[in-house]
């Protein structure tokens, strides 16, 4: 089934449009977990694994999706990547939709590498390896379509989805994204239009495309404009909830 339909059906089933972020930061782990483990990297990953599993166990029947933030796993080195792999796999096993928040993007041949890692498969000779069990990946649009196409091809082939950055939630997103072009449109509107166009082949039964968009809740006006501009685009909306303040971050669909 089309990835966005899997997500939307899950949202309907649970009557809950939030996604829970899993961004491991040692300082924010509860003391009752921390005190059981050491402070070397391996132990911190073990502690975080207990935390992540506990969160997933407790939310998997009420929240449809989980969003691990790759940066915080990468900041725990090789052990952190194994923690990320296990976390994605455990969330899937518990029936959750997994959105890997990694903001990847490069020229086409390189985006293929990222796409193989997270959406498709790595092919070696006649064997294929599925490395991370993920439904959606967040993607950066700066390279234009040939940096995005490898992801879209894998979305089609493996029933996966991407969320492309359109308007991000941080204050300085305006520095580039809000600039006005000579045709009167802003950069985020141009990116919004591109995302709409790129996703036309992947519209599912619910009327939304698996090529979806990231639009920050911190900018209500832009959010309204983009909602009008992109009626078939599903929005991942960071900044709804406790962004920055704690390790859980929420998002919703409108």
The strand pair at 161-167 and 122-124 is best described as: unpaired
Nearer to a copy of itself, 26 or 252 (CB): 26
Give the binding site for a copy of itself (CB under 8 A): 23, 26, 39-41, 44, 69, 71-72, 74-78, 81-82, 85, 103-114, 116-118, 122, 124-125, 127, 129, 131-132, 140-147, 165, 168-177, 179-182, 184, 187, 190-191, 194, 238, 243-244
Nearer to a copy of itself, 39 or 228 (CB): 39
Nearer to a copy of itself, 95 or 113 (CB): 113
Nearer to a copy of itself, 114 or 208 (CB): 114
Q: Residue 201, CB half-sphere, CA atoms under 13 Å: how many?
A: 10
Find the shortest distance in angstroms from Cβ 236 to a copy of itself.
Answer: 13
244: which 2 tokens?
Answer: 């920055």
Find the shortest distance in angstroms from Cβ 110 to a copy of itself.
Answer: 5
Pick the catalytic residue from 42, 92, 94, 103. 103
Find the shortest distance in angstroms from Cβ 29 to a copy of itself.
Answer: 10
C-beta of residue 138 within 8 angstroms of C-beta of residue 177 = no
In the numeric block, the tokens 């998997």 are attached to 60
Q: Cα(219)–Cα(98) distance, rounded to whole angstroms?
A: 25
Q: Cα(193)–Cα(25) distance, rounded to whole angstroms?
A: 36
Find the shortest distance in angstroms from Cβ 79 to a copy of itself.
Answer: 9
Find the shortest distance in angstroms from Cβ 253 to a copy of itself.
Answer: 20
SS (H, E, C) 105-151: CCCHHHHHHHHHHHCCCEEECCEEECCCCCCEEEECCCCCHHHHHHH
- The verdict on whether 185 is a catalytic residue reads no
User: Which are the contacts of 95, defined by CB distance < 8 A and separation ≥ 6?
Assistant: 60
Nearer to a copy of itself, 50 or 106 (CB): 106
99: which 2 tokens?
Answer: 């959105």
Catalytic residues: 103
């Amino acid at each position: 089934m089309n990835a966005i339909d899997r997500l939307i059906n899950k949202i309907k089933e649970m009557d809950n449009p939030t996604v829970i972020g899993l961004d491991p930061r040692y300082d924010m782990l509860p003391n009752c977990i921390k005190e059981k483990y050491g402070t070397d990297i391996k132990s911190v990953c073990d502690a975080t694994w207990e935390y992540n599993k506990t969160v997933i166990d407790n939310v998997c029947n009420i929240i449809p999706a989980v969003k691990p933030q790759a940066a915080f796993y990468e900041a725990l080195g090789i052990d952190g990547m194994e923690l990320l792999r296990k976390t994605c796999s455990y969330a899937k096993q518990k029936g959750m939709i997994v959105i890997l928040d990694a903001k990847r993007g490069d020229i086409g041949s390189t985006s293929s590498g990222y796409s193989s890692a997270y959406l498709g498969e790595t092919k070696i000779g006649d064997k294929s390896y599925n490395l991370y069990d993920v439904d959606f990946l967040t993607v950066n649009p700066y390279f234009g379509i040939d940096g995005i196409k490898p992801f879209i091809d894998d979305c089609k082939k493996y029933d996966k989805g991407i969320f492309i950055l359109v308007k991000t939630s941080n204050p300085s997103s305006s520095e580039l994204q809000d600039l006005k072009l000579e045709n009167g449109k802003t950069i985020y509107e141009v990116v919004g239009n591109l995302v709409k166009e790129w996703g036309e082949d992947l519209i599912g039964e619910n009327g939304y495309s698996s090529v979806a968009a990231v639009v920050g809740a911190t900018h209500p006006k832009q959010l309204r404009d983009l909602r009008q501009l992109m009626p078939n685009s599903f929005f991942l909306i960071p900044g709804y909830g406790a962004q920055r303040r704690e390790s859980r971050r929420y998002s919703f669909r409108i």
